[in-house]
Amino acid sequence: MAVGIFDSGLGGLTVLDAVVKRLPDVPFVYFGDNKHAPYGVRTADDVYELTTAAVARLWDEGCDLVILACNTASAAALRRMQENWLPKEKRVLGVFVPLIEALTQRNWGDNSPPREVDVNHVALFATPATVASRAFQRELAFRAIGVDVEAQACGGVVDAIEEGDMILAEALVRSHVDALMRKMPKPEAAILGCTHYPLMEAVFQDALGPDVKVYSQAGLVAESLADYLVRHPAMLGEGKTSKFLTTGDPRKVSDRATQFLRRKIVFEPA
């Protein structure tokens, strides 16, 4: 009954932490492709090949349902995977869906025409690859009208977080927020479009100011997954054991993960 969670590195641990708290009886297998991180500077074809390999590895662990807890993979690979690669008995879900649902206040399956929403000026902070894909803007446009999205590619932030250099990460976040606000001085909402960024949510909020509502993905994904499993209980795979897999150095990745989640995490070689 295990569910797979995939990320290019450690950022997906923010999603894992939220879903474990929401679904404590479900075993989760986490796969971090730390050897090839970050994905945010890779080509779409590279991201696709790496993501499909990781998802196939999670299938081997008995995970028929896999969450792409990586915005770059969700933006650059998910649609292509669902259209051309995914077997009928498997499911791969991305992290954009709960975010779009929250922002537009409508369910993903609502196919009515786009309509006005409460928020008109949205700041999107994401990796260069996610920004280049324009996936967020595309999905938002299907559901809402009159929303101006200003995207800021946050180069260097993921690398700093993965290396545990939170001082550099904070400096980069503040620099990227300044750059965005020169283009959009008064955003009403901000999307943290990378699962690493919740680790810096307080810094984003402080730099943006108290009047900007910051949307982070972890809690939204956890609630969405709980609802999905109620509607699709058959998607709980055969796996029965929670574990952590990495393509990187297991000891180094375990140490970083333990620091992030403030509890002992032990990764195994993938």
Q: What is the pLDDT of residues 11-34, one digit of tens each?
A: 899 999 999 999 999 999 999 999
| pLDDT confidence bin for 101, thresholds 50/70/90 | confident
In the CATH scheme, what is the code of domain 3-95+218-269?
3.40.50.1860
Global pTM value: 0.85
Query: For 228-256, how does the pLDDT look when each residue is reduced to its tens digit (9 = 90+)?
Result: 899 888 898 787 889 999 999 999 999 99
**Residue 67 three-state SS:** strand
Domain extents in the chain: 3-95+218-269, 97-216
Instruction: Supply the residues annotated as catalytic.
Output: 70, 194
| pLDDT confidence bin for 108, thresholds 50/70/90 | low
In the CATH scheme, what is the code of domain 97-216?
3.40.50.1860
b/e for 127-140, b at 16 or more Cβ within 10 A?
bbbbbbbebbeebb
Is 8:70 a contact under the CB 8 Å cutoff? yes
Is 129:89 a contact under the CB 8 Å cutoff? no
Domains 3-95+218-269 and 97-216 share a fold: yes
Rounded distance between C-alpha atoms, residue 3 and residue 59, angstroms: 9
